[in-house]
Amino acid sequence: MSRLKLPTIAPSEITPEAVWQSRRAWLKQAGMGALAAGAGAFGASSLAQDAQAIGLSATPNPDFLLLDQATSEKDITSYNNYYEFGTGKTDPFENAHKLQTRPWAVSIEGEVARPRTFDIDDLLKLAPMEERLYRLRCVEAWSMVIPWIGYSLSTLLKAVEPTSKAKFVEFTTVVQKENMPGVKSRIIDWPYVEGLRMDEAMHPLTMLVFGVYGKQLPNQNGAPMRLAVPWKYGFKSGKSIVRIRLLESMPLTSWVKIAPQEYGFYANVNPEVPHPRWSQATERRIGGGFFAPRIDTQMYNGYAEQVASLYAGLDLRENY
């Protein structure tokens, strides 16, 4: 397979490791000071999660880097959608410290020759860890640029040998009722389920993510393992995955089940197809400030050269 031709990031745009490590140390000290001064739940949550941070070494992959400036670690880890912990953007940061991520197992089932259950520590060692700078675009018209750590999902799928009947891949996320306050609501018929076509799942850009900014994933970002599909809207990239099934038929995914008129199975980033309640033509890059100018949304989130061929002949308005 030919190497992907993504733009190489300019050296001036890369944040040196020493800088963000020292920034983390400063934030930790600030958090301790705030806690000592009687900080609220937000500060306590920050301190607890920081204490749990575990380093995760990875080699930057030059084929998966961008010219975009990376979003700060603070914004990546404190501004999230993770409805199991609440619908507010800071709810996951405040509540996800309760998530139990050990022990953790991920079962691979369905149309495979070698079904298997992997322990998370085995998955961490299944392939060399890479750091990839990926765009994340959410359907609410905000975006980030995130230095994810992991490897291509295809590595795991090949290990279980998909059969000729495998046309789709379904991902199911964890439900911990005692630890996830959001599952008490009926916004979603829990557990959260997402899916991809088999060729989408096997594409080198589709990534199993185990870390960010040099550390294992924080709980609020989908610990201990999540998906990243950078040319699709963020809701396609399931967090805290516990089951992967290979199927012959298209799975019924959570948002398609709830609101099919708003959230389609494909969910490719497409500025030409508006959400029924707002435009997708522009986006707000998190970290640029509230008054920062909006930027134009790129087709397939800027990955058209790599993935447009997957949808040749597909009506992208009907298959939104």
pLDDT tens per residue, range 111-144: 999 999 999 999 999 999 999 999 999 999 999 9
Condensed to tens digits (0 to 9), the pLDDT of residues 35-70 reads 333 334 444 444 344 445 789 999 999 988 898 999
Q: Is residue 316 part of a domain?
A: no
Amino acid type, 183: V
Q: What are 141-153's pLDDT values in tens digits?
A: 999 999 999 999 9
Q: Is 174 domain-assigned?
A: yes
Task: Find out whether 53 and 221 touch, Cβ atoms under 8 Å.
Answer: no
In the predicted structure, residue 311 carries a pLDDT above the cut 50: yes
Query: Which residue range(s) make up the domain with 218?
Result: 11-311
pLDDT score for 17? 42
- Cα 289 to Cα 71, 73, 190, 263, 293, distances in angstroms: 12, 15, 34, 28, 9
Ramachandran class of 5: left when φ > 0, alpha when ψ lies in -120 to 50, beta otherwise = beta
In a domain, 317, yes or no: no
Residue whose structure tokens are 């940061």: 93
Quote the CA–CA distance of 192 and 251 in Å, as a whole number.
Answer: 12
Q: Is residue 274 part of a domain?
A: yes
Tell which residue, 303, 301, 308, 306, has the closest CA to residue 144.
301
Crossing angle for the helix pair 17-36 and 41-51, nearest 10 degrees?
130
- CB neighbour list of residue 188: distance below 8 Å, 6 or more residues apart: 83, 254, 258
- Confirm whether 2 is domain-assigned: no
Extended beta strands in 9-104, E state: 59-60
> Is 243 inside a domain boundary?
yes
pTM score, whole prediction: 0.84
Element (H, E) at 143: strand 142-152
**pLDDT per position as a tens digit, 231-266:** 999 999 999 999 999 999 999 999 999 999 999 999
In a domain, 293, yes or no: yes
> What does the mean pLDDT of the chain come to?
87
In a domain, 34, yes or no: yes
DSSP assignment, residue 138?
Answer: -
170 in Cβ contact with 152 (< 8 Å)? no
CATH label of the domain that carries residue 185: 3.90.420.10
> How many domains does the chain contain in total?
1
Strand partners, 94: none
The total of other beta-carbon atoms located within 10 Å of residue 318's CB is 9
